[in-house]
Amino acid sequence: LPTVYSLDGLLVFGLLLVCTCAYLRKVPRLRTWLLSERRGIWGVCHKAAVIGTRLHVAVSVSCLLMAFYILVGK
């Protein structure tokens, strides 16, 4: 398991943040409640959701490559 203090741990954390926020953006009630604010910590979630929805192909390929790296490479 990667730790947060290593580079691969930070990449896993970033990918999980982007994927989770993009998923939460698809839920209408959560979108208006959580992702409507554009400043502070909720602003980070909003920006991660925008990245996840606009670059969904690149994010999904990155998730697959990171999963392959963690399962086979380490």
Task: Answer whether residue 4 shows pLDDT above 90.
Answer: no
Check: CB of residue 23 under 8 Å from CB of residue 31.
Answer: no
The whole-number pLDDT of residue 35 equals: 66
Distance separating alpha carbons of residues 1 and 14, to the nearest angstrom: 15
Q: Which sequence spans correspond to the domains of the chain?
A: 2-73
Task: Answer whether residue 70 shows pLDDT above 80.
Answer: yes
Per-residue H/E/C for the chain: CCCCCCHHHHHHHHHHHHHHHHHHHHCHHHHHHHCCCCCHHHHHHHHHHHHHHHCHHHHHHHHHHHHHHHHHHC
Distance separating alpha carbons of residues 30 and 69, to the nearest angstrom: 32
Which tens digits make up the pLDDT trace of 10-64? 888 999 999 999 988 888 887 777 767 778 888 888 889 889 989 999 999 999 9
Task: Answer whether residue 1 shows pLDDT above 70.
Answer: no
